[in-house]
Amino acid sequence: MRSLRCTEQQVLGYQIERLDEFDDTGMPHSMRYEVLCPRTGAVLANLANLQAARQFVIVHELRAIREGTLRLNRGMRAA
């Protein structure tokens, strides 16, 4: 099986790549999307469609903001 990787979009610094997989005869086997970390390039998620990949990025960023805010609030209460 062989794969073809194409950058589909950049969303908030995250790279979304489309992976097209082909079987040994050259027929398309599957297509999926991977979300790559903007800092390390590590694969964060493997999703079925582009909309799900975009939603993953937004939810991931919102969670990071929320966690940072909670840490900041805890630090302010302790001071």
* pLDDT recorded at residue 78: 64
The domain of 39 spans 2-78
Give the Cα separation of 2 and 57 in Å (integer): 27
> What is the total residue count of the chain?
79
Count the domains in the chain.
1
| Backbone φ and ψ of 4, nearest 5° | -125, 125
CA–CA gap between residue 50 and residue 48 (Å, rounded): 7
Checking if the pLDDT of 79 tops 70, the result is no
Q: Which two tokens stand for residue 50?
A: 């582009």
Q: Tokens standing for 71?
A: 């840490």
Mind listing the pLDDT tens digit for each residue in 20-72? 999 888 888 889 999 999 999 999 999 999 999 999 999 999 999 998 887 77
What global pTM score does this model have?
0.80
